[in-house]
């Protein structure tokens, strides 16, 4: 056993979902403390109680910094780090113009390793402690990310992106090689340290029915794995899918018919859904991943957060780097709030913070270990400075309660608001 460390500051955790229980689902302590030992959270309570109970613990005083779970980004493409904020295209043109040429470069293992390191360092800087990423078709892109995550102690979910049509030469696999390579990577990485392998058909337009079938078979052989893909992001894309799969009842059916619909399925975007699709997603308990900065940046549409939550869907929050325009989950929360406003349903700060932590962790079936500040969870937490810029400080100084104090950081904050990021109890960012 290593020495215990007692982190002192304000603390914020969740006893339930604010979508079910309202803002009081969150527990806030002005003078709180978190006891960490061997990479795990051992206790969360008041500073006075924990100081008295654990007098031997090394104390780290974060002042009035807000200690909370690290952010969990439920849908990213780490290979798109270098092309984030590329101008002026919509989904299909954006993929062809910017994304595919960049993804081609990940055949070079050294390049993949360089970008994986850059990406994970950006995550830590922005307070994200776990992410679920697409890689490229190249197995070395998966090895690079899991290797870099292991070196940092981070829990990462990722898989080889599979595409056997409608992608350029050099960026296509086959039904068989997608199955074989995914299986080999799964066997190599899944459950090794904090790595979680995710079966990853990019989306129906870039996979033949044979490839979808092969990946459905692989998922059936490894039902404890997650499966991630894209669903109903843009209207042109949906029309394209209808042309490619004329027998399918709808977009979701192109996955369902091939064994790619399940509770451990993650469906990115899920904006323009038909009633049958909503019913099937809810019945299945699948995860819908909201990527708000991407949806506005690429011009995809407005996600129906309140309607989908009300009908009992599981929803996580994500940046969708690099279709999304930021690495920051604070920016994702702000954009989710703005989209909520455009839909006539503003989200409370507690709901936004829950989505960015527990909500995402639940869709990843990992809420037993990440996404909250509670005993027996991994010590993956951040310290937020709620006065990180003059603009934010002058607003939060007028706050009458914790939510008014946090909301300016959600709306205007960036990596400067993250005073520290701890992964498995170790500081990846500090001061």
- The residues that touch ligand GUN, with contacts defined as CB under 6 A, are 77, 91, 95, 99, 202-203, 230, 233, 294, 298, 320, 323
| Interaction partner, residue 179 (Zn ion, ligand GUN, none; CB < 5-8 Å by kind) | none
Least separation in angstroms between CB 348 and ligand GUN: 27
Count CB neighbours of 341 within 10 A: 11
Return d(Cα 385, Cα 345) in angstroms, integer: 28
Closest CB to Zn ion among residues 320, 380:
320
| Interaction partner, residue 155 (Zn ion, ligand GUN, none; CB < 5-8 Å by kind) | none
Least separation in angstroms between CB 378 and ligand GUN: 28
Count CB neighbours of 210 within 10 A: 16
Closest CB to Zn ion among residues 95, 218:
95
How far does Cα 153 stand from its chain's mean position? 17
Least separation in angstroms between CB 206 and ligand GUN: 7
Least separation in angstroms between CB 91 and ligand GUN: 6
| Interaction partner, residue 233 (ligand GUN, Zn ion, none; CB < 5-8 Å by kind) | ligand GUN
Q: Say if strands 128-134 and 314-317 run parallel, antiparallel, or are unpaired.
A: unpaired
Return d(Cα 156, Cα 196) in angstroms, integer: 6
- Determine if the peptide bond prior to 270 is cis (ω within 30°): no
Least separation in angstroms between CB 156 and ligand GUN: 18
Q: Which residues make Cβ contacts (< 8 Å) with residue 34, sequence separation at least 6?
A: 6, 7, 11, 41, 43, 44, 67, 373, 379, 381
The candidate with the shortest Cα–Cα distance to 98, out of 321, 267, 295, 327, is 321
Closest CB to ligand GUN among residues 99, 128:
99
| Interaction partner, residue 334 (Zn ion, ligand GUN, none; CB < 5-8 Å by kind) | none
Closest CB to Zn ion among residues 14, 119:
119
Q: Which residue is nearest to ligand GUN (CB)?
A: 323
**Contact indicator for 379, 404 with CB cutoff of 8 Å:** no
Closest CB to ligand GUN among residues 143, 294:
294
| Interaction partner, residue 294 (ligand GUN, Zn ion, none; CB < 5-8 Å by kind) | ligand GUN
Least separation in angstroms between CB 321 and Zn ion: 9
Stretch that binds Zn ion, among 261-269, 345-353, 398-406, 410-418 (CB under 5 A): 261-269
Closest CB to ligand GUN among residues 33, 91:
91
Helix (H, G, I), strand (E, B) or coil at 415: helix
Least separation in angstroms between CB 415 and Zn ion: 22
| Interaction partner, residue 144 (Zn ion, ligand GUN, none; CB < 5-8 Å by kind) | none
- Phi, psi for 146 (deg, rounded to 5): -65, -35
Return d(Cα 14, Cα 26) in angstroms, integer: 4
Q: Establish if 292 lies at the interface with Zn ion (CB under 5 A).
A: no
Return d(Cα 288, Cα 271) in angstroms, integer: 9
- CB neighbour burial string for 45-63, b if at least 16 within 10 angstroms, e if fewer: bebeebbeebeebeebebe
| Interaction partner, residue 333 (Zn ion, ligand GUN, none; CB < 5-8 Å by kind) | none
**Contact indicator for 244, 199 with CB cutoff of 8 Å:** no
Stretch that binds Zn ion, among 94-102, 266-274, 331-339, 351-359 (CB under 5 A): 266-274
Q: Kindly give the interhelix angle for 175-189 and 139-152, rounded to the nearest 10 degrees.
A: 20
| Interaction partner, residue 139 (ligand GUN, Zn ion, none; CB < 5-8 Å by kind) | none
Q: Establish if 268 lies at the interface with Zn ion (CB under 5 A).
A: yes
Closest CB to ligand GUN among residues 44, 91:
91
Least separation in angstroms between CB 353 and ligand GUN: 24
Return d(Cα 288, Cα 74) in angstroms, integer: 10
Least separation in angstroms between CB 297 and ligand GUN: 9
Q: Which residue is nearest to Zn ion (CB)?
A: 268
**Contact indicator for 85, 25 with CB cutoff of 8 Å:** no
The H or E element that residue 209 is part of is helix 209-221
Least separation in angstroms between CB 320 and Zn ion: 5
Stretch that binds Zn ion, among 93-101, 111-119, 206-214, 318-326 (CB under 5 A): 318-326
CA angle 104, 327, 38 (to 5 degrees): 105
Closest CB to ligand GUN among residues 6, 123:
123
**Contact indicator for 272, 238 with CB cutoff of 8 Å:** yes
Which stretches of the chain bind Zn ion, using CB under 5 A? 268, 320
């Amino acid at each position: 056993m290593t020495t215990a460390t007692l982190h002192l500051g304000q603390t914020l955790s969740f006893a339930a979902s604010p979508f079910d229980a309202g803002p009081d689902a969150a527990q806030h302590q002005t003078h709180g403390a978190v006891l960490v030992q061997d990479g795990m959270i051992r206790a969360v309570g008041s500073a006075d109680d924990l100081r008295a109970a654990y007098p031997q613990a090394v104390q780290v005083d974060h002042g009035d910094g807000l200690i909370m779970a690290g952010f969990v980004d439920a849908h990213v493409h780490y290979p798109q780090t270098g092309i984030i904020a590329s101008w002026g295209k919509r989904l299909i043109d954006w993929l062809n113009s910017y994304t595919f040429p960049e993804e081609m470069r990940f055949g070079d293992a050294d390049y993949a390793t360089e970008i994986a390191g850059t990406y994970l360092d950006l995550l830590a800087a922005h307070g994200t402690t776990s992410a679920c990423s697409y890689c490229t078709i190249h197995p070395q892109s998966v090895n690079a990310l899991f290797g870099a995550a292991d070196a940092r102690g981070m829990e990462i979910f990722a898989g080889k992106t599979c595409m056997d049509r409608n992608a350029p030469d050099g960026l296509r696999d086959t039904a068989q090689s997608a199955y074989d390579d995914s299986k080999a990577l799964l066997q190599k990485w899944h459950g090794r340290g904090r790595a979680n392998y995710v079966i990853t058909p990019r989306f129906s337009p870039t996979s033949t029915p044979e490839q979808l079938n092969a990946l459905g078979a692989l998922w059936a052989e490894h039902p404890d794995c997650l499966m991630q893909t894209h669903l109903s992001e843009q209207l042109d894309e949906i029309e394209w899918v209808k042309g490619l799969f004329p027998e399918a009842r709808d977009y979701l059916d192109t996955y369902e018919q091939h064994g790619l619909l399940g509770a451990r399925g993650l469906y990115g975007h899920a904006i323009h859904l038909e009633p049958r699709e909503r019913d099937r997603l809810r019945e299945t308990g699948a995860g819908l991943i909201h990527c708000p900065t991407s949806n506005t940046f690429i011009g995809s549409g407005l996600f129906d957060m309140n309607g989908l939550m009300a009908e009992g869907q599981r929803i996580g929050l994500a940046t969708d780097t690099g279709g999304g325009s930021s690495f920051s989950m604070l920016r994702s929360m702000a954009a989710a709030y703005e989209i909520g406003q455009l839909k006539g349903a503003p989200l409370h700060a507690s709901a936004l913070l829950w989505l960015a932590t527990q909500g995402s962790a639940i869709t990843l079936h990992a809420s037993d270990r990440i996404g909250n500040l509670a005993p027996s969870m991994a010590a993956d937490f951040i310290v937020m400075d709620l006065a990180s810029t003059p603009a934010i400080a002058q607003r939060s100084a007028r706050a009458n309660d914790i939510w008014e104090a946090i909301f300016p950081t959600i709306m205007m904050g960036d990596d400067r608001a993250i005073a520290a990021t701890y992964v498995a109890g170790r500081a990846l960012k500090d001061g």
